[in-house]
Amino acid sequence: MKILLTGATGYIGKRLLPLLVAQGHEVLCCVRDKNRFYLAAALQANVKIIEVDFLKKETLSQIPIYIDAAYYLIHSMSGSSDNYDELERISAENFTERINQTQARQVIYLSGIVNDKSLSKHLSSRKQVEDVLNLGTFAMTTLRAGIIVGSGSASFEIIRDLVNKLPVMITPKWLNTKCQPIAINDVLKFLTKSLLNPLTYNQSFDIGGPDILTYKEMLLTFAKAKKLRRWIFTVPVMTPKLSSYWLYFVTSTSYKLATALVSSMKVEVICKDTKINELLNVQPMSYEKALSKALLKVKEDQVASSWKDSLISGRFNTNLSGYLKVPKKDCFIDRRKKEVINRDFTINQIWSIGGETGWYYGNWLWNIRGFIDKLFGGVGLRRGRTNKHSINSGDVLDFWRVLYANKEEGKLILFAEMKLPGEAWLEFKIIGNTLYQSATFRPRGIWGKLYWYSVLPFHGFIFEGMLRRLIR
């Protein structure tokens, strides 16, 4: 079958794609920017990539007429725009209009549980998208999930940050809100088993695990799994704004995402029924088992996808293509080079940079810069990296975004997502037996120039020290 997959660069899409290929389907991946989409060699024969921006109706002509079904996995959660709910509606309308012109028999949409009359802006937006998709001429299947637990999921990463960093937590009262978490593996089972299954046509289903827990219980269960003693006290005085700042400064989430999460976490998300479990013969695993599997994936460095690699985790809200060519005109550039002693060693050092490994030299200064970035509303260093030794275009690497990564070529280009009065690139490339390292900054006005000169004294030993460690 020919399946259209939207949201192919997202947390769910990246995990669903190999499953669809393994089932023998030909998959058409819709992406806004091909340069941000890494496709493993094993999948390339059965996958076609098409560039589509669902906010630009003219680009949807790229979607072929001859498709059998489509997955709609486009969620912003909290984009760079305050009217993201309006943008999500427009995307859904454009998608529906185009799919109506194709031979698709079914559309599957992953939504949120919306059985509470008082919905957050985020959950209301999900429901609005669902209503738009239901107007299509195709059979509609909606799967509604609450908290998704898996290595790299936003919920898992936030819970991990809180438990690992805070032995004692003074928390907002919404931690007593109940929810019904579900393992990512079970979400994927529901998504694949619903595909072209007439039993699921023109219906919506709540999907959840067997446990109904408060967020406080979820944190304490995680602490138990990590063999950590934690104390949590809830107080009624934390406003939504204070709660958002609390999440923002302690975890790796952005402030806008924290705001959306806080708004949603005040609403109970519990399944009305679980009839789909019997319908598709799926028995979801417990929260403890989901945590165990996620922790094992992290320990073995086998995280298949992470929410942090999505564009909403930072301030990058455009295509990578426009930044691939590092500029020279009107820029400040710090260039350095050294002879490579062992090429493989140096490449492995470069491909392991950031995250838990750090930046090889002056890490305390990098940490200070990350803290300052957080104070000014930036992403800071807490995003880390998804995998310890592999890097692909579009990935997050601390407060950088990977623009280009080619290990055989020995070339890596990073673009800064930190708060800056300008734009910054960090580039590594090996030519012959020489490693070239360059930090490029394109200032914006007088403040950009002042910024460059203020950090210039630190470049001498930070970048020189890093270059030495990459060689030896």
Q: Which residues pair with 71 in a beta bridge?
A: 5, 108
Task: Write the DSSP assignment of 125-163 as a string of letters.
Answer: HHHHHHHHHTTSSSEEEEEEE--EESTT-HHHHHHHHHH
Q: What is the DSSP letter of 358?
A: B
Rounded CA-CA distance 395/307 in Å is 10
CATH assignment of 2-309, given 3.40.50.300, 3.10.105.10, 3.30.365.10, 3.40.50.720?
A: 3.40.50.720
Q: Are 414 and 426 in contact (CB under 8 A)?
A: yes
pTM over 0.85: yes
For 47, left (φ over 0), alpha (ψ -120 to 50), or beta? beta
pLDDT of residue 311: 62
Rounded CA-CA distance 106/136 in Å is 10
pLDDT string in tens for the chain (472-residue length): 999 999 988 889 999 999 999 999 999 999 888 877 888 888 888 999 999 988 888 999 999 999 999 999 987 654 445 677 788 888 899 999 999 999 999 999 999 887 666 666 667 777 888 889 999 999 999 999 988 999 988 888 888 888 988 899 888 888 888 999 999 999 999 999 999 999 999 999 999 999 999 999 999 999 999 999 999 998 877 676 777 777 777 787 777 777 777 766 777 888 988 899 999 999 999 999 999 999 999 888 888 888 777 765 555 555 666 788 899 999 999 999 999 999 999 999 999 999 889 999 888 888 888 888 888 878 888 788 888 888 888 888 988 999 999 999 999 999 998 889 999 999 999 999 999 999 999 999 999 999 999 988 888 889 999 999 999 8
Rounded CA-CA distance 442/259 in Å is 31
CATH architecture of 325-471: 2-Layer Sandwich (3.30)
All structural domains of the chain with their residue ranges: 2-309, 325-471
Q: What is the DSSP letter of 200?
A: G
pLDDT of residue 99: 94
Rounded CA-CA distance 125/90 in Å is 11
